[in-house]
Amino acid sequence: MTRQYVILGASAAGIGASARLRELDPESVITVIGEEPHYAYYRPLLPYLRDGRKTLGDIAFWPEEWYAEQRVRLILGARGHRIEPDRKVVELDDGRRFDYDALLLAVGAASRIPDTPGIDAVGVYPLRTVTDAEAIAARARAALAAGGDGGAHAVLLGSGLVSLKAAEPLMNLGIRCTFVVASGHPLSRVVDARVGEMVAERLRERGARLLFGREVAAVTHGVDGSVSGVTLDTGESLDCDLVIVGKGVAPNLEVAQASELACHRGVRAGTYLETASPDVYAAGDCVETMDVVTGGQQVAALWTNAVSMAHIAAHNMVHGPVRRFPGVIGTMNSGVIAGLPIVALGLTDPVGDRYESLVMVDRAAGSIGGDGASGNGGVSDGATARAFRKLVFDGDRLVGAIFAGRVDRAGVYRSFIETGLPLGPTLRSAAEEGRLTYADVQMRGQKPPYSNFVAA
Amino acid sequence: MASTHTEAGAARVVAPSEIYVVPARCTGCRSCEMACAVEHSQSKSLYGAITETPPPRRRIYVEAVDTVAVPVACRHCDEAFCANACITGAIRRDARGFVMLDESRCIGCNSCIMLCPFGVIQKDEARHVAVKCDLCPDLPGPACVAACPTDALRFEEAGDFARARRKATATVGAAAGAPAGPA
């Protein structure tokens, strides 16, 4: 019998699941319903789109014809879905109804916008969608064209990865950037103060101004409703042409709430990514899942988590709840910030006696965390100038790590954080010396975290 | 765009063959690393490769464990961490089931490096892209395997390899029962 799959959400999780469903069930009917008017795109590439370095076509997930080839029925610009689990029907707010045998809730997350007075002024944007990126680009061009005495100026609320990545193309365009940061250092949810200061130093070298321990109390605007500046909680005022809001994201819970599915910070999903309703699964940034490091519940909105969840949920939509999602590492970030490569994993700055943190800093070229035990065989490994590595242990278990400058083989360390397998003394000393490789794991570990053909 | 449509196959394809390592046969000569770097150079010749700027990068790593050398190669995993983590679409499985990296789409974000449990994706800092094993599409088989003088690397179907291993174990003296390398 031909099965019908409906997917709510048409981004990383939704489209990832549709591709896997087609592989697993070639004859099925697959319908994907998305809110944005655009074909799915690589959201983390939005800063490049704004930059003019890439077009919407360049950042598209698949070309338009892929959907027809895959026989994926795509409905875009649709809103207000409501699931009727008893009837196994989804209804859109225009009255269209779709039957399903299995459904995936993959509606994602939206930018968190603080309720600061004046935040709805023209020229204040988050960076989450193509629409946001295009608005920022237009505003930046206009500000540069107007070119007042001090040139164009942008204020960024927060200094998380989104703010930092949003600032990069603005700085490239010659727009001055000021970060207003509540915490004491950049990326405070991701790295410790020491690496934060390395990032701050690099940003300052690029002409950015960073204000720590401060918040924007109000956004000011002219009579035309267009942003003119911000007032800080210290009373200080800053003139600006553009404000970017980088205060994180929050799961989209409207559909789940309208459908009476259990939600906390995100949609509740079990080990098989199943929800409380039969044959309704959830994946991606809307889901609250287990943090394998802390054991707590966490919304870990991250591209790779969304894709991994989507593949597992698709499998379970076809075969029933058989494949488990192991959970996420709550902090798992990678990026190149102002030229500095950073990988941050797990508990990067924990408080408490039970944790042991080891920090290694090296000013010589690439001798930490780099090529490890290998010689270079006559070819370059492209070392950068300075490397920093931090490992956090809870007894014999590695529970956190930061790599900055050199990130080679970070995944070998990550596999231990994810699986919680103890390192043992030999692997631990290799890790501490920055020369842990998979060969060590294979030859010395009692049981490697991963072997060939990893199946989640 | 070559890899764009390749996940479109109706049924899920798993890589038919992969590079297998027999650690006991490795002498640590690094011929595999050299052959890999040369094959991924512009000139594809040893003397050309060593004078190129930026220098060519290898994608197989002979790691030292005490005094023993162990080559580590990409597994072309079925549920590939690197492909799931790629935020640009640069890493995808191709029609044969091999996990390929399109360097023209790579922005050098290191997400794949953060995820790969084998540590076999590394950054070419000179070109700001990640580099990984592509199984040498221009050759009959991977250059590293062809270059290995001790038959420590094999490019084989999983089934063949498992059979060969059993046979080698059953024969006194591993060399006597060792399977022939790929042509």
Note whether residue A454 is domain-resident.
no
**Chain B residue with minimal CA distance to A18?**
B8
ipTM of the complex: 0.91
Contact A336 B108 (CB under 8 A): yes
Q: Categorize the per-residue pLDDT at B5 as very low, low, confident or very high, splitting at 50, 70 and 90.
A: very low
pLDDT of residue A454: 32
A222 in the same domain as A157: yes
Mean pLDDT computed over every residue of chain B: 83
- Residue A105 located in a structural domain: yes
Last-in-domain residue among A220, A247, A274 = A247
Residue A386 has a pLDDT of 72
Note the pTM of the prediction, 2 decimals: 0.90
In this complex, which of B4, B34, B113 lies closest to A411 when CB atoms are compared? B113
Contact A42 B109 (CB under 8 A): no
**Top-confidence residue, B78 or A106:** A106
**Nearest-by-Cβ selection for A374 from B56, B61, B108:** B61
Same domain, A57 and A147: no
Question: What kind and span of H or E run contains A141?
Answer: helix A130-146
* CATH code of the domain in which A55 resides: 3.50.50.60
Lookup result for tokens 């540069």: A144
Instruction: Give the contacts of B174 (CB within 8 A, at least 6 positions apart).
Output: B24, B25, B168
Residue A453, both tokens: 């053909």
A113 token code pair: 């916008």
- In total, chain B counts a number of residues equal to 183
Provide the token pair at B21.
């390592």
* Amino acid at site A396: D
- B40 → chain A, closest CA residue: A379
Chain B neighbors of A345, CB-CB under 8 A = 114
Residue A119 covered by a domain: no
Angle subtended at Cα A111 by Cα A110 and Cα A113, rounded to the nearest 5 degrees: 130
Residues A98, A163: one domain? no
A172 and A219 share a domain?
A: yes
Phi-psi group of A171: left, alpha or beta (phi > 0 → left; psi -120 to 50 → alpha; rest → beta)? alpha
| A286 and A386, same domain (yes or no) | no
Tell if the CB–CB gap between B34 and A444 is shorter than 8 Å: no
Question: Contacts of residue B133 in chain A, CB cutoff 8 Å?
Answer: none
Establish if A327 belongs to a structural domain.
no
How far apart CA B84 and CA A303 sit, in angstroms, is: 8
> Reduced to 3 DSSP states, what percent helix, strand and coil does chain A have, rounded to the nearest 5?
25, 25, 45
Calculate mean pLDDT across residues B88-99.
92
pLDDT at B104 over 80: yes
Shortest distance between the Cα of B109 and any Cα of chain A, in A, equals 5
CA atoms within 13 A on the CB side of B74: 32
CATH of the domain at A434: 3.30.390
Query: Quick one: which of B97, B75, B73, B76 has its CA closest to B147?
Result: B73
Structural domains in chain B?
Answer: 6-177 (3.30.70.20)
Best residue of B61, B66, B102 to probe chain A, by most A CBs closer than 10 Å: B61
Question: CA of A70 to nearest chain B CA: how many angstroms apart?
Answer: 6
Distance of CA A351 to CAs A220, A347, A355, A357, A394, Å? 39, 9, 7, 10, 12
Q: What is the DSSP string of A400-438?
A: EEEEES--TTHHHHHHHHHH----HHHHHHHHHTT---H
Whether the Cβ atoms of residue A286 and residue A267 lie closer than 8 Å to each other: yes
If 0-12 CB within 10 Å is exposed, 13-18 middle and 19+ buried, where does residue A246 land?
buried
Q: Please give the pLDDT value at position B43.
A: 93
Q: How many CB atoms lie within 10 A of CB A204?
A: 12
A381 and A308 within one domain: no
Say yes or no for a CB contact (<8 Å) between B55 and A383.
no
Q: What are the b/e assignments for A267-306, b being 16+ CB within 10 Å?
A: bbbeebbbbebebbbbbbbbbbbbbbbeeeebbbbbbbbb
| Pairwise CB contact (< 8 Å): A384 & B78 | no
Bridge-based pairing of strands A72-75 and A29-33 is: parallel
Residue A315 lies in a domain: yes
Question: pLDDT value at position A80?
Answer: 74
Q: Is B6's pLDDT higher than 80?
A: no
Q: In angstroms, what separates the C-alpha of B117 from chain A's closest C-alpha?
A: 4
* Mutate: best of B5, B75, B114, partner A, most A CBs <10 A: B114
The burial class, CB within 10 Å (0-12 / 13-18 / 19+), for A29 is middle
Q: Give me the domain span that covers residue A409.
A: 339-444
Residue A358 belongs to some domain of the structure: yes
Distance CA(B33)–CA(B53), nearest Å, equals: 18
Closest CA to A94 of A76, A79, A74: A79
Dihedral pair phi/psi, residue A318, rounded to 5°: -85, -45
Q: Which of A218, A247, A276 finishes a domain?
A: A247
Quick check: B110 and A379 CB within 8 A? no
Q: Do B113 and A334 touch (CB under 8 A)?
A: yes
Q: What is the pLDDT of residue B162?
A: 59
In a domain, A330, yes or no: no
Best of B52, B99, B113, B144 to mutate (most A CBs within 10 Å, chain A): B113
Name the minimum distance, in Å, from the CA of A17 to any CA of chain B. 12
Q: Which residues in B lie closer than 8 A to residue A304 (C-beta atoms)?
A: 81, 84-85, 111, 115
Mean pLDDT of B15-34: 91
Give the residue from A299, A297, A394, A325 showing the smallest Cα distance to A355: A394
Residues A308 and A371 in one domain: no
Most distant CA atoms of chain B, gap in Å: 51
Per-residue pLDDT of chain A (456 residues; tens, 9 = 90+): 899 999 999 999 999 999 999 999 999 999 999 999 999 999 999 998 877 788 999 999 999 999 999 999 999 999 878 999 999 999 998 999 999 999 999 999 999 999 999 999 999 999 999 999 999 999 999 999 987 667 899 999 999 999 999 999 999 999 999 999 999 999 999 999 999 999 999 999 999 999 999 999 999 999 999 999 999 999 999 999 999 999 999 999 999 999 988 889 999 999 999 999 999 999 999 999 999 999 999 998 999 999 999 999 999 999 999 999 999 999 999 999 989 999 999 999 999 999 999 999 876 544 333 333 333 333 333 333 478 999 999 999 999 999 999 999 999 999 999 999 999 999 999 999 999 999 988 887 656 666 543 332
Domain edge (last residue) among A231, A247, A263: A247
The predicted pLDDT at position B30 comes to 97
Residues A87 and A156 in one domain: no
The verdict on A149 and A229 lying in the same domain is yes
Q: How far apart are CA A341 and CA A384, in angstroms?
A: 9
Same domain, residue pair A129 and A243: yes
Claim to verify: residue A136 and residue A61 sit in the same structural domain: no
Token pair, residue A433, equals 């010396």
The whole-number pLDDT of residue B67 equals 85
CA A221 to chain B, closest CA, distance in angstroms equals 36
The widest CA-to-CA distance across chain A, in whole angstroms, is 70
Q: How far is A190 from chain B (nearest CA, A)?
A: 14
| Contact yes or no for A165/A335 (Cβ under 8 A) | yes
Nearest by Cα to A192 from A337, A340, A359, A355: A359
CB contact under 8 A, A443 and B70: yes
Does residue A144 form part of some domain?
yes
Same domain, A184 and A211: yes
pLDDT band at B169 (very low <50, low <70, confident <90, very high): very low
CB contact under 8 A, B70 and A407: no
Which one of B87, B104, B125, B153 would you mutate to disrupt binding with A, by most A Cβ within 10 Å of its Cβ? Answer: B87
Query: Alpha helices of A220-289 — where are they, by DSSP H?
Result: 254-258
Q: How many domains does chain A have?
A: 3
Report which residue type is found at A442. Q
Between strands A242-245 and A340-346, the pairing is unpaired
Establish whether the linkage from the previous residue to B142 is cis, with ω within 30° of 0.
Answer: no
Query: Under an 8 A CB cutoff, do B78 and A442 touch?
Result: no
